[in-house]
Chains A and B, each alone.
Chain A
Amino acid sequence: MSSHNKQLAAGLLAIALIASPAFAFDFGRPATPEEIRLWDIDVGPDGKGLPAGSGTAVQGKQIFADNCAVCHGDSGQGAIKDRLVGGQGSLASSMPVKTVGSFWPYATTLFDYIHRAMPYPTPGSLSTDETYAVTAYILSLNGIVSADGKVDKDSLPKIKMPNRDGFVPDPDFDPAKLFHNK
């Protein structure tokens, strides 16, 4: 088929679509798989959504120093923004210290949050491997992975965070029960 005929066929198709009666609820346009991938960044606690790649705490130390330390401090504490390290054992005290190590229940959430929201001035600017590396470094600062530890999409969901069992669901919206009576 010549290019002229291709254009003609496309034109006829377009006319046919315009001529057909509009559906009552014909809004929006189909989302293509390629563009969904660009925005589909969420990571679940089971690791669903984690991309291929990996990073080590050793690599993460330098990336953290370059991108994160100005707000969070070289070792994840003592600077102007959220403290990321320590506080374990403080949650029942009158001065609880909520950090990744003392409070966050899932390591997957750490990857998700760094990937979507950090560094604050340029969210999403770290590569996948850099994000894994910073995740590994913050976990290592909290003694959750070793100082030369490595994380990837298989290992991250398997990490049991120290406060994993520290949450009690509101009885009205308990995910374990909410839709199980229907």
Chain B
Amino acid sequence: MTSNTPIDELPRPANVSRRGFVGGLSAGILGAMATEASADSLADIPDRGPGADLSSHSERSRFAKIDRIPEATPGKRNIDPSDAINSKTPHQKLVGNITPTDLHYERSHSGVPDIDPAQHRLLIHGMVGKPLVFSVDDLKRMPSITRVVFIECTGNGWENWKKADPDLTVQNTHGLVSTNEWTGVPLKFLIDLVAKDKDSNWMLAEGGDGAGVDRSIPLTDEILNEAFVAYGQNGEPLRPAHGFPMRLLMPGFEGNLNIKWLRRLKFGNAPWMTRWETARYTQLLANGKARQFQLRMDTNSVITQPSGMMQIQPGYNRISGFAWSGHGKIAKVEISTDGAKTWTQAQLSLPVLSKAQSRFQMDWVWDGKPTKIVSRSTDEQGNVQPDRESFIAAMGTNALFHYNAQQTWSIDEAGRVRNVLA
């Protein structure tokens, strides 16, 4: 389409008045204008009319372009999906605290198995009085709990260990945490059913995926009180990518402990030292030793608006993001708009839930001068999200997992927002 085509000869979409169409067209010809400009007078709003037929389930608007990104290890981006090891949540396009089910981040170690629930069983055995086998229907008949919790891959944030690629979005840097509402059976209830030996204080949880991912889980009071076997996700059965038909839920702990496609729980009295808890999910420190059983996800936060690769205008800007902690509730979030020199407490959206993403926001008037914005969270146990310098001083740059340093975004004189280390 070119600008010298007579307007009346152009095909016109249904339900769009000639006037609205012309308005939209001129915005298109001008090119750089934002979508809203195509309806800057109420007279330009398209006429109302009958819409699409009702359907068996609703899709996202065709105007809402919103997708995860399959990625590999740090620095490996824009890859073929068959090479992906995770798929990241587009936090820059989300609001509120609940991640849409289809956009919850995904990390799998041997693809997504296609499991018929009628042919799935959960075996619970080991140091128990009564080893039992459960079907999915057995679980659904049991007393259940429903809880909103975050799950976070220990690799979240891993792009920034050694350097900050300026072209990263918050989806690239922090897309491996999501919050959903999960429904299932308390672990404690299952433990009572099988009559666990009181001397058993470790549990092996194993998945039904090709890798048979398995982790040893210490049966602390906190875990006994909070862990559950989930079959529901945001009100519906788990999605296959997230463990259909059942998965372990470990509020506040490493994502990979939340074993998906759960098919076996075995009780013992020492960790099994599986590949995942020795060779994989351990953190190499600067001295060459690796920290093992760092199971809890630490206090964290990130600004999502504005964030990497956005561009802002001088004047009023609302800063928004989310905070989370595996220790419990977020107590406060502070924001600095001058590169961590001074801090202002942000407003938290209520209610703040334990071990769930908590949305924060703050008004800000940008004076148009280059600066850096950064958030830091504090949880109810007094844990403060560390600045990058002290975090790296403690962990080195080889750990690969458990990165929870403060995320800084730089803003240049043109308002361009970019990923920086600090």
Contacts and interface: CB of A to CB of B under 8 A. Distances in A.
Contact of B212 (A123, A166, A168): A123
Given A29-B133, A170-B291, 4 more contacts: A105-B273, A117-B110, A173-B218, A179-B201
B193 A25 contact: yes
B193 A42 contact: no
A173 B11 CA distance: 67
Interface of B: 110, 123-125, 130-135, 138, 141-142, 189, 192-193, 201-202, 204, 206, 210-212, 214, 218, 220, 263-264, 266, 268, 270-275, 278-279, 282, 284-296, 397-398
B237 to A, nearest CB: 19
A175 to B, nearest CB: 5
Contacts of B272: 42-45, 112
A91 interface: yes
Contacts of A117: 110, 210-212, 275
A43 B212 CA distance: 13
Of all A-B residue pairs in the complex, the 7 with the closest CB atoms, nearest first, are A92-B288, A91-B288, A28-B132, A116-B212, A31-B131, A173-B293, A113-B275
A169 to B, nearest CB: 5
Contacts of A66: none
Given A25-B193, A42-B272, A179-B201, A166 B289 contact: yes
A142 B166 CA distance: 39
Interface residues of A, number: 44
Given A170-B295, A178-B201, A123 B218 contact: no
A91 B296 contact: no
Contacts of A173: 218, 293-296
Contacts of B206: 42
Contacts of A113: 274-275
A178 B210 contact: no
A178 B110 contact: no
Contacts of A94: 397-398
Contacts of A64: none
Interface string A37-52: 0011111110000000
Interface string A100-115: 1001111011001100
From DSSP, what is the main secondary structure of chain A's interface residues? loop
A91 B274 CA distance: 20
Contacts of A112: 272, 274-275
A36 interface: yes
Nearest to A92: B288
Nearest to A99: B279
B279 A39 contact: no
Nearest to A91: B288
Contact of B132 (A29, A123, A172): A29
A167 B289 contact: yes
14 contacts: A25-B189, A35-B123, A91-B288, A96-B284, A96-B398, A109-B273, A109-B274, A109-B275, A109-B278, A113-B274, A116-B212, A120-B110, A166-B288, A170-B293
A27 B142 contact: yes
B193 A44 contact: no
A29 B134 CA distance: 7
Nearest to B286: A92
Nearest to B128: A31
Given A173-B293, A175-B218, A42 B282 contact: no
B212 A28 contact: no
A41 B274 CA distance: 12
Contacts of B212: 41, 116-117, 123
A7 to B, nearest CB: 26
Contacts of A104: 275, 278-279
A103 B273 contact: no
A95 B120 CA distance: 43
Contacts of B210: 117, 120, 123
A35 B263 CA distance: 13
B176 to A, nearest CB: 20
A39 B218 contact: no
A104 B275 CA distance: 8
B201 A25 contact: no
A153 interface: no
Nearest to B263: A39
A106 B193 contact: no
A34 to B, nearest CB: 12
Given A108-B273, A117-B110, A123 B211 contact: yes
Contacts of A108: 273
Given A25-B192, A104-B278, A170-B294, A98 B284 contact: yes
Interface-centre pick from B141, B193, B272, B285 (highest chain A CB count, 10 A): B272
Given A31-B125, A168-B289, A116 B211 contact: yes
A96 B272 CA distance: 25
A44 B273 contact: yes
A124 B304 CA distance: 44
